[in-house]
Every structure is written in structure tokens, then in C-alpha cells.
Amino acid sequence: MLRSVVFLPVIFIQWSCALPTKWKPDPINNRPIIGILTQEVNDHVMKPFGKTYIPASYVKYIESGGSRVVPIRLTQSTAEYEKIFRSINGLLFIGGSSNLETSNFARVARIFYRLALKANDAGDFFPIWGTCLGMQLLTVLVAGENLLTKTPAENMSLPLNLTTEAFSSRMFEGFSSNLMNALSQEALTGNFHHYGVTVETFKDNDKLQSFFSILSTNKAENGATFVSTMEGKTYPFYGVQWHPEVSRFQWDPKLTFPHSPDAVRVASLLAEFFVNEVYCCRRNLHYFSQPEEEAMSLIYNYTPTYTGNFTGYEQIYFF
């Protein structure tokens, strides 16, 4: 009896690339530390407490993103700052009222800015974030001159006038379309400033124009249109003229801190972005050489002072 034979076609598949024998992920820093530059005390109400300070809201803001904090004093040597730079994974310039050209705050910021430029040029990603005065400081450092003019928006919550660059930006990449709409329509950003960089001045300055992308603008009380959000085009440097930290951590009833769910969500996402973004702190592998030195450098060694509401902050770290 004959049996039928079925011939099945044999398919040879040639892999375009072989799987590695062992997958090796890029190193990720799961214990990031961000430095916060202290600032001189200029307010006479605060002078009895110390010479420099950091509002606790900035510390909580960074910690809420999943990082620890090291306060950076203004009285150390350049060699000590270089050592700190090699030990931290990012840097925050806070808001305040220091002179952006002659103060120790500006002097030390300039040291770290130059170190960050050099590191990033060598492929060592080191992020810097500037809030309010900190953003203004970034424009001075990049432009090499003070281009600030009066753009008063004191004690005002505003929606952002988002540019087209905002929708392709790194900063807002994690924002849903609904939240981006809310950010452009609802008063989610707390503004407490007298000066800023106008859009016209920004665009007329080749250094600023080539270094930063404008992500949002706003109109000041005097009618001037100022840059309210920006990010570096090739460097992981970010600036906001408004205060994301206040939405979650400051509660003075005399001040218009936006506390809506959307405002809180915006603050949360930006804190997480700064710590987690691929160009930012978790890809930066700087570290303290000794665990004991790390432990002694952290903000945990200091106790914030409760100042009530007479300073605009409930809690402040003084140094």
C-alpha cells in the first residue's frame, strides 16, 4: 500500500543581529544627590538666624523627586567646590534677591556652571535647574551680561503661554495632553518676581538664542512679555521664572500659591523630571569617595527653622 508523503517547506530565517550573550544595561544612579546652592541673607527679618539660607520648600521639592540634597556653602575654596562637583549629580539655583554679578551666590554659581559645561562637553551629563532668580542667573551666566529688565509679576498665579517648542521639549515630555491644556489655561504657576528677560531681549541675544529654547512666555503687570520657561538645546540646563516648589510645600495664606490638583501634579512631574530625565541625575555617576563624607554632607545634618509666615516661608535652613 502506498502512503502519501507530504513535503513541508523548510524556512530558513537569518537573524539580522544576534542576541548578546549577556545584556548589560547602561549604568543608572539609584542614589542621586543634588546640590542646592545657598544664598546670602539680605532680608533684615532673617539676619538674626544666619548668614546664608535655603528655604525648606526647595529641599522638599528635590526630595519628592527621589533625590537627596547637599547644601553648598558660599565660603569654600575653588578646590572644595570642584570636589563637591565630583560628588553630586545635579545642581539647583534657588530664587531670592542676591546680586547676579557681584554676590557670592553668583560667584560660586559661576564656578559650578563652568564645571558643568566642561563635564557635559566631555559626555558627563550634569544638569542645572534655576528657579526664578536662579533662572535669571542662568541667563547672566550664558549671556555673559545682565540683561534683566522690570517684568513685575508679584504674588500672581498665571497660566503659561506655551510655545511650539514646549510640545517637543524634554521638560514637558511626561505631561499628558490634558495637563498641558490645563497648564496653558489655568493659573497653575506661582510668580513672585520683579525682573526677568523679555522675549525681545532674549531673541536679540545670540548667546541666549543659540543656547536655550523658549518653552513659555508670560505678560508682566507692566505689559512686558517675559520668558517664563526655558531649557538648554544641547545642555541639560533648565529655567523657570515661576515657582513649582510652592504648590506642594508653601502655605502662607497672604500669598497666591496655586494648590489645585493640577498645580500639584505639575510640581510633582517637574521634580521627578529633574531627577529622572535621561540627561539628568540618574545618568550622572558622580559620588562621594567615602560613605562617612557623604553622610556628613547631606541636609539631614541640619534642622530647618520654623519662621511662621513673616518671611514668606514656613521653614528655612540657615547656615
Residues with catalytic function: 132, 243
Q: Residues 241, 132: contact at Cβ < 8 Å? A: yes
Measure the CA–CA gap between 267 and 223, rounded to whole angstroms: 27
Measure the CA–CA gap between 55 and 57, rounded to whole angstroms: 5
Q: Residues 33, 91: contact at Cβ < 8 Å? A: no
Instruction: Kindly tell me the sign of the dihedral angle through the C-alpha atoms of 208, 209, 212, 216.
Output: positive
Measure the CA–CA gap between 232 and 200, rounded to whole angstroms: 18
Measure the CA–CA gap between 242 and 189, rounded to whole angstroms: 6
Which among 139, 151, 161 is positioned nearest to 205, based on CA atoms? 139
Burial class (CB in 10 A: 0-12, 13-18, 19+), 26: exposed
| Cα separation of the two ends of the chain | 100
CA 176 to chain centre: 20
Measure the CA–CA gap between 272 and 261, rounded to whole angstroms: 16
Name the DSSP class of 86. T
For 128, the enclosing helix (H) or strand (E) is strand 128-131
In one-letter notation, the amino acid at residue 71 is P
State the Cα torsion 107-113-115-118 to the nearest 10°.
Answer: -140
SS3 for 275?
helix
SS3 for 306?
strand
Measure the CA–CA gap between 99 and 74, rounded to whole angstroms: 14
